[in-house]
């Protein structure tokens, strides 16, 4: 652990953990919906359009959430902190 990341106050660390948990929950929900629609589209082809629409809507939201979290983490730990990504592509 770097000196910079070791100096993150516990309250800020708790906020980062809560944000991480929220993002993880959102990603799990989005993936569950996509999986269900994928299975349904195998039985009923009319679900394929809904699946495509959901993927096109949810995927950018997931990427955006991950980018926001990475930026918040980098603000607290510093963008050059060892082992931390500087961006999500």
Residue 64 structure tokens: 């955006």
Closest alpha carbon to 74 in 59, 87, 63, 61 = 87
Q: Where are the domains of the chain?
A: 10-77
pTM of the complete model: 0.69
Q: What's the pLDDT at 5? A: 43
pLDDT tens-digit profile of 24-53? 999 999 999 999 999 999 999 999 999 999
Can you tell me whether residue 44 is helix, strand or coil?
A: coil
């Amino acid at each position: 652990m770097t000196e910079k990341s070791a100096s993150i106050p516990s309250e800020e660390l708790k906020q980062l953990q809560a944000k991480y948990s929220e993002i993880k929950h959102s990603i799990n929900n989005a993936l569950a919906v996509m999986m269900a629609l994928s299975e349904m589209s195998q039985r009923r082809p009319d679900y394929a359009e809904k699946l495509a629409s959901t993927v096109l809507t949810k995927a950018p939201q997931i990427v955006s959430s991950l980018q926001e979290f990475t930026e918040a983490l980098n603000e607290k730990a510093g963008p050059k902190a060892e082992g931390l990504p500087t961006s999500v592509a």
